[in-house]
Structures are given as C-alpha cells and as structure tokens.
Amino acid sequence: QGSIRVSLKKSMCKRLLFFTPALVFAAFILSVPQSSFAQLRIATYNTTNGPRADSGTVFEAMGTEVVNGIAKPVDVLILQEQGNVATTTQAFVDLLNGIYGAGTYARGTVNGITSGGGRPGVIYNTNSVQLLQEVAFGTVDTSNQARQTLRYEFRPVGYGSEADFYVYDSHYKAGTSSSDQARRLVEANAIRSNSDALGEGTHAIYAGDFNIRSSSEAMWQALTSAGAGQAFDPAGKLLEEAPRPG
C-alpha cells in the first residue's frame, strides 16, 4: 500500500491521479476562498468482490494509519470489482458501520455496465461528505471499455459548491496485448472528454485499477496530456514506485 497527501488550492486546481496497486490512501486537503480547510482521507481499493475475513482489520487500519501527521477514518472509499452495489458494496457499508456506528457510512446506488470482473462502486462517510451526483458512462463491448466508468460528485459537509470535487472510478481492461492497451486508451479518452467538459478550475481525482505497468502507456499519456482535464501525479512517478502484490 502507499500513502500520499494532496494539497489542492482553488487558485491552482488540478485533476489528480491515484490508482490501485493493492490499496492506496490519500489525505486530500481542500482549500477554499474562505481560507478554511477540509481534510479528507480517500482510498481506492480493488476488493475482488465482497468482504473477506480480514476486511474489518483492513478498514480499521485505514482509520488508524498516520499519513503526514493525520489519522482519521476513511471519508471516500473508491472500490472496484463490486458484484452489485446493493449487495457487495452494501456488505462493506455494513462492515464499516459495525466499526464506526450505524449510519456513518453510505454507498452509491448506480450499477455501471460490465462485461465481467465486477464494476466500480463507492462508499462515503456521511459525517464528512455529501454525494451529490453519480454518472455512469462509456461504451462496453469487445473493442471498447471492459466496464463503464463511474463519476461521483462530492461536497464536504459544511462547505459550499466551491468545494465540490469529482471522483472518476475506473477498472480498466487487464492484459498486455495491443488490443488490451487500445481498450484502456478508449476509456482514458472517454474520461478526458467527460472531464474536459467540466472546464478549468474543477477539482477531480482519476482513481481505480488502471491495469498498466508503465506510465509510458498511451492511456496514461492521454490522462496527463494538456487540456482542461489534464491529470497530475501528486506523488511523482507513482506508477513506477508503487509496490505490487506478489
């Protein structure tokens, strides 16, 4: 697992990248014009379907790990390989609420289209963020995306619309063939088209299971190319330096 801290200021808004080698945490520090700060812990996690025997231990560790001097329960948990959000993702919500109290966590409700390997989902801490909107997009077939991307819009509790941020949750096509890489590029281009349309000055995170082995791949270059939705790797060469399972 890895840990990063993100400082995002209104005067220099960016789209940020973090992906799932196994589990990645981010302390997301959002500065708004009133000079107040929202500190959010955001994690992305490919759970390979529902909870395991040790999932409670993993979630408790998320809340106790100190990242840049901050330890707090996760605020937004970005998930991949969810069978169905009403069952698989709800099982994780129940587990978290068993740790932190009934009603603390809720989930998204949109099931994106999938060709296999589950679908994206999200869980959020109702005490710290509001889920404003969910959008599933992308064409799913044998030459396009393997699964639809989910775009979530959040607002930190107690803040106005200037603090809204988007999370793009993706589980890209696996594999190393030229066809696999081409399909990952299709999804990256779809994300960029969607994000570019939001315009400059938008807070956004591109997260999920990218299924790539090098930042030289075309999909990564598409996400980080110039434009309104240009992504920035806040940790610097996060892809090459992140540990891999096994």
Output Rg (C-alpha) for the chain, integer angstroms: 17
Q: What is the pTM of this model?
A: 0.87
- Rounded (to 5) percent helix, strand, coil in the chain: 25, 35, 40
The amino acid at residue 211 is N
Distance separating alpha carbons of residues 147 and 23, to the nearest angstrom: 20
Residue 237's pLDDT band, with cuts at 50, 70 and 90, is low
The pLDDT of residue 132 is above 50: yes
Q: Which two tokens stand for residue 51?
A: 């909870």
The pLDDT of residue 224 is above 80: yes
Write out pLDDT tens, residues 62-119.
999 988 788 999 999 999 999 999 999 999 999 999 999 999 999 999 999 999 999 9
Pairing of strands 76-82, 119-125: antiparallel
Q: Which two tokens stand for residue 232?
A: 């920035």
| Per-residue pLDDT, 3 | 33
As a whole-number percent, the residues of the chain with pLDDT over 70 amount to 80
The pLDDT of residue 148 is above 80: yes
Q: Which two tokens stand for residue 229?
A: 């939705």
Write out pLDDT tens, residues 21-59.
445 545 454 545 544 566 899 999 999 999 999 999 999
Q: 169: phi > 0 → left, psi -120 to 50 → alpha, else beta; which?
A: beta
The pLDDT of residue 240 is above 70: no
Distance separating alpha carbons of residues 220 and 202, to the nearest angstrom: 20
Distance separating alpha carbons of residues 76 and 246, to the nearest angstrom: 26
* Weakest mean pLDDT among 5-9, 19-23, 119-123, 237-241: 5-9
Write out pLDDT tens, residues 192-214.
999 999 999 899 999 999 998 88
Sign of the four-CA dihedral 54, 57, 62, 68: negative
| Per-residue pLDDT, 233 | 81
Sign of the four-CA dihedral 130, 64, 208, 165: positive
- Give the mean pLDDT of the chain: 85
**Residues 118-137, mean pLDDT to the nearest whole number:** 98
Alpha carbon 74 to chain centroid, angstroms: 12
Rounded to the nearest 10°, the torsion over CA 178, 183, 189, 194 is -170
| Per-residue pLDDT, 235 | 63
| Per-residue pLDDT, 201 | 87
| Per-residue pLDDT, 246 | 39
